[in-house]
A and B are shown apart, each in its own frame.
Chain A
Amino acid sequence: MAIKKEKLEEIIKKSFPKASINIVDLAGDDDHFSLEIKSSKFNGLSRIKQHKMVYDALEGKMGGELHALSIKTINEE
């Protein structure tokens, strides 16, 4: 399964419209990405809660269309 980088960014932006997002296609196969996302929505939340917010934003694509996504969440002061 695979997903286009632009599509991935579009999906995430729906839940994080004001976040700054940096997505890298790690293997060039539309299947292994790294995502760095900076948002004030993460402030004060545990890492688990932050990552769960990102997984929820992916509308169930994680593990299906999207095989591997490494996530780095950053608070926005």
Chain B
Amino acid sequence: MDSKVKETIEGKINNDDLHLFMKGTPLFPQCGFSSTVVQILTYLEAPFSSTNVLEDESIREGIKEFSNWPTIPQLYYKGELIGGCDIIKEMFEDGELQEELKDIINN
């Protein structure tokens, strides 16, 4: 992966606590899985920034290589991959996501 792409990705995941690589935007998600994660974060009132991977093919492919995770969306918290839609949904249903994100929820 091109070092510039890697730097861009690292900048994004280290800039904000919670960063979502998704297809589309929070207002206009372009994929059901991305939309589900946005809805969960919105419901939890967890502030997050996002990247629309559809706008940049190098990011869309680079993020998969970066995390060795083949799908989009990808949610990062404090620079670490938490998971894709399945894992976020499971954690939310188990109450684990609320616990994990408690530092940034309600403040």
Contacts and interface: CB of A to CB of B under 8 A. Distances in A.
Interface residues of B, number: 15
Contacts of A70: 85-86
Contact of A62 (B70, B83, B86): B70
A48 B83 CA distance: 6
B69 A52 contact: yes
Nearest to B61: A63
B102 interface: no
Interface of A is mostly: mixed
Given A55-B70, A68-B33, A63 B84 contact: no
Given A47-B90, A68-B33, A62 B85 contact: no
Interface residues of A, number: 12
Contact of B81 (A48, A60, A71, A72): A48
B53 to A, nearest CB: 12
B79 to A, nearest CB: 14
Interface in B80-105: 81-87, 90-91
Q: List the 4 closest A-B pairs by CB distance, nearest first.
A: A62-B70, A63-B70, A47-B87, A71-B86
Interface of A: 47-48, 51-52, 55, 60, 62-63, 68, 70-72
